[in-house]
């Protein structure tokens, strides 16, 4: 053991009966080492308790073994919305068997855009997954053009270069929810839409509008921001403007839970007076009274696939296509 008390690369090599260069190749994941030699080196590393110098390893491999999840949302929303926990769970499940560690980057204000870009350009991570992004300025275009493997959780608005993305068919999901309300006899169907600077907000509104137009029925729209407060305010506006509505399609479960409270406080019975359908099938859907009928999106699967694509891009593979997954209507008591 050297004077510092920490085992060295040379000591690992001596114990394994190989050269220092061979140990270095094993530590850096080189495929050019025989399996028996790899096993001997790994046994020596385990026996000595050797810990590789990550900074030195990064100089050799140009890898940091870190990937970023970028969420352009305030931390208050990230830690209160079950969607983000499910997405992170899916990403973590795929990364768990690999050396890659997650770095969570929140971006609560537009003023932080350049700081975020500087960090990502600075070689601190091997790649990044962008989740819950807004088309509010040029940040998405700049992210898409970074010399860094990037994957988006939905198609980024305003980006004119090919990018990799993973999402659900939000238009079809919304159509399914609204068609269900029609199938149970509702005709005065309103929607609480998401923000129009997000793909999910635009597409879920589009699905609602398509079905209402096909049915020859008027659209009744109030806008929220995928938060409980946004859902509450939108529900109050809808009841003021359309007190006779009998169906409500809400673009997220968080907003739907708030809408259910507003309906109850206003004396409307769900589903007798107003049938409600949400979107997500989050854990909240089974805790409301009544339990929420909702459109399920496979969030954990989306997160896992985002991580798979990012790892492939880091390894040098080309991915510039949009992958779209199906949704599923889950019928419970609210509709």
Domains of the chain, by residue range, sit at 9-61, 66-168+300-325, 170-297
**Separation of alpha carbons 180 and 183, rounded Å:** 5
Asked whether the domain spanning 170-297 has the same topology as the one spanning 9-61, the reply is no
Q: Nearest-CA neighbor of 221 among 197, 252, 251, 180?
A: 251
**Separation of alpha carbons 194 and 201, rounded Å:** 4
Quick one: 66-168+300-325 is in which CATH superfamily?
Response regulator (3.40.50.2300)
Q: Nearest-CA neighbor of 226 among 122, 84, 111?
A: 84
Written as six digits, the tokens of 25 are 């190749």
In the DSSP assignment, the letter for residue 282 is -
Residue 269 burial (10 A CB sphere; 0-12, 13-18, 19+): exposed
> In tens digits, what is the pLDDT along the chain, a chain of 335 residues?
554 567 887 888 999 999 988 887 887 666 778 888 988 988 888 888 876 655 455 444 456 788 999 887 777 778 888 888 999 999 999 998 888 888 888 865 555 677 788 888 878 899 999 998 877 656 788 888 888 899 999 888 888 788 899 999 999 999 999 999 999 999 999 999 999 989 999 999 999 999 999 999 999 999 999 999 999 999 999 999 999 999 999 999 999 999 999 999 999 999 999 999 999 999 999 999 999 999 999 999 999 999 999 999 988 888 888 999 999 999 999 99
**Separation of alpha carbons 45 and 138, rounded Å:** 47
Helix axes 299-314, 82-95, angle to 10 degrees: 40
State the CATH architecture for 170-297. Answer: 3-Layer(aba) Sandwich (3.40)
State the CATH architecture for 9-61. Answer: Orthogonal Bundle (1.10)
**Separation of alpha carbons 313 and 252, rounded Å:** 31
Contact 91, 307 (CB under 8 A): yes
Written as six digits, the tokens of 328 are 């599923």
- In which residue are the tokens 């809400």 written? 250
């Amino acid at each position: 053991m050297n004077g510092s008390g920490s085992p060295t690369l040379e000591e690992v090599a001596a114990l394994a009966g190989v050269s220092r260069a061979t140990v270095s190749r094993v530590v850096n994941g080189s495929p050019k080492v025989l399996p028996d030699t790899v096993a001997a080196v790994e046994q020596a590393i385990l026996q000595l308790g050797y810990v590789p110098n990550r900074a030195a390893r990064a100089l050799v491999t140009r890898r940091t073994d870190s990937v970023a999840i970028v969420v352009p949302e305030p931390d208050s929303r990230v830690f209160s919305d079950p969607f983000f926990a499910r997405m992170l769970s899916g990403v973590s499940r795929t990364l768990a068997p690999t050396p890659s560690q997650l770095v969570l980057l929140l971006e609560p204000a537009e003023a932080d855009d350049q700081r975020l870009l500087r960090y990502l350009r600075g070689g601190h991570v091997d790649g990044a997954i962008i989740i819950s992004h807004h088309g509010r300025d040029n940040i998405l275009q700049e992210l898409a053009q970074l010399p860094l493997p990037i994957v988006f959780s939905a198609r980024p608005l305003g980006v004119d270069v090919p990018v990799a993305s993973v999402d659900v068919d939000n238009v079809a999901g919304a159509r399914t929810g609204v068609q269900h309300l029609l199938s149970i006899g509702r005709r005065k169907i309103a929607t609480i839409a998401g923000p129009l600077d997000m793909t999910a907000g635009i597409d879920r509104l589009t699905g609602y509008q398509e079905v209402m137009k096909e049915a020859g029925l008027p659209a009744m729209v109030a806008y929220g921001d995928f938060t409980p407060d946004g859902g509450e305010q939108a529900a109050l506006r809808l009841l003021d403007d359309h007190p006779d509505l009998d169906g409500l399609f809400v673009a997220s479960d968080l907003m739907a839970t708030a809408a259910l409270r507003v309906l109850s406080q206003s004396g409307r019975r769900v589903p007798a007076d107003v049938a409600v359908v949400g979107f997500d099938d989050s854990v909240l859907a089974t805790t409301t009274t009544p339990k929420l009928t909702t459109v399920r999106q496979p969030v954990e699967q989306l997160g896992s696939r985002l991580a798979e694509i990012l790892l492939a891009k880091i390894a040098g593979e080309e991915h510039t296509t949009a992958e779209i997954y199906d949704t599923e209507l889950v019928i419970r008591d609210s509709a």
